[in-house]
Every structure is written in structure tokens, then in C-alpha cells.
Amino acid sequence: MHRQSGQGTVEFVVVMLIFLAFLGGIFEMTRVFRAKHTLNEATFLAAREGALNHARIDPMVARLGEGMADLFMVKDSKTSLTKALLVSRAHAEAFQASGGGVKIVSPTKSVFNQLSKEQFIPFDGNQQPSTVRVIPNDNLRWRPNEVANLDGDSNIDLKDANLLKIRTIWCQRLVVPGLDFLIYQVAGAVGNSQRQSTCRQVSSGSQVSGVASGWYIAIASDATVRMQTPVLGDDLP
């Protein structure tokens, strides 16, 4: 009788551990899905910011950070929002420095070199108005439809070159003890290794300013918007 009672205790502990791991997994995945939904919206806002700012990376990174601030809100107050914005921007800058953040997919430097023209740009802010090379976006209906040759047999015309396509990579922190490291390891084994490599640099054991220690997994999103300003070539891949 005593031996049967001991066996029941062991079975209960095993089942309870499995049940707790199951609950922890649901909680963790809910946080990841929420982060993915937030990232989709923030990526669109970042792309729109780039469309208004000559496809420059810095404004897009700043807008991405603002869009992800919801993940860092603790309570609904002005003070909390201000702090969340500061923390979120710091994360966006850290991820950008680690190989994630905002990446321009199109147009590329090759397209810029083939389609760019000299044009006077009345820059906003501290940058002085000047004549620079840009991919023009004015009067596209009446401009000659020039074509840039890409690798292989594909090409891209001037109208398509004015579509800004970006990809964002955000590192989501895992918080369930024990399970966080397991999910991190699985993500590294079966996920996109290039994306996950960004999060390896900000996971436990790495010193990244502005980012809390822990285990992180990569989530990504894409967005495409039409340029509202001429494309500069400085930040193009």
C-alpha cells in the first residue's frame, strides 16, 4: 500500500510538471503572437516613415521603436507611455546595431545607380537643401519608363523602383523560467538561422546597452509602400 502511494505521488509530480510546461508554453506563445501583430503594424509605420524621408534608415528605426512601445507599457498613464517609448527606441537601436531592426529590400543600390538623376531636394531639418542624385518620384506618368537590369533576366522599371520594400527583425524576450531557454534553442535549430543570429547577440551572456538580459527569439515582418519623396542612395543595400 505504501509503495502504491509513493508511485502515485511520482506520477502526480510528472503530470503536474508537464501541465505547467504546457501552460507556460501557451503564455509564452501568446506573448510572441502579440509581438508579431504589433510588429506588423510597426513595420508598416516604419515603411511609411521611410517613404516620407527619402528611404533613410534612421527615421524608420525610430518609428519602428515607437510602434513597438505597446509591448513595454505597464499601466495606462502618460508617464508609463513616455518610459515605454524610451525603452522601445533603445531596443530598436540595439537590434539595428546587432544586424536586425530595419532592412531595405528594394530598391537596391544597383537599381539606384541605374535610375538615379540629379535633382534639387529641399531637405527638412538640419540638412541643407542641395542638388543630389535620387530616384525621382515626381511626374512618373510622363517620365520615360526607364528600366534597371537586375541579376539574371529580371528587371525593374522606374515606377517599381519607387516602391519601398522593407523587412524588420525584432527580438522578443522570453520570460517563462526554464522554458525560455528551451524555446530559444528550438528556434535556433529549426528557425531562420540568419534572423535568429541577430537575437543571439542580445540573449543571455551578451552585453547590449538598453536591452534586458534574457533569451530572445526573432520575429520578422515585411511592408511595401509607395515613395512620397525621392529615394536617396545612402542607406540602400
Per residue in 81-122, pLDDT tens?
888 899 999 999 999 998 899 999 999 999 999 998 888 877
The predicted structure's pLDDT at residue 143: 77
Mean pLDDT of the chain: 85
**CA 10/CA 177 separation, integer angstroms:** 22
pLDDT band at 8 (very low <50, low <70, confident <90, very high): low
Q: Can you give the pTM of this predicted structure?
A: 0.88
Listed by start position, the domains of the chain span 2-107+163-226
Q: Please tell me which residue, 31 or 148, carries the higher pLDDT value.
A: 31
Reported as half-sphere exposure (CB side, CA atoms, 13 A), residue 85 has a value of 9
DSSP labels for 159-218? HHHTEEEEEEEEEEEE-STTHHHHHHHHHHHHS-HHHHHHHHTTSTT---TT--SSEEEE
Whose cell is 541577430? That residue is 198
What pLDDT, in 10s, does the model give residues 192-212?
A: 677 888 888 888 655 566 678
What value does the mean pLDDT take over residues 165-186?
A: 91
The predicted structure's pLDDT at residue 171: 94
What are the phi and psi torsion angles at 117 (to 5°)? -135, 155
Whose cell is 510546461? That residue is 21
Residues 6 or more apart in contact with residue 73 via CB below 8 angstroms: 80, 81, 84
Closest CA to 200 of 73, 106, 100: 100
Q: Which conformational region is residue 57 in: left (phi greater than 0), alpha (psi within -120 to 50 degrees), or beta?
A: alpha
Provide the percentage of residues in the chain whose pLDDT is more than 70: 87
Whose cell is 515607437? That residue is 66
**CA 110/CA 118 separation, integer angstroms:** 16
The predicted structure's pLDDT at residue 1: 46
C-beta of residue 28 within 8 angstroms of C-beta of residue 215 = no
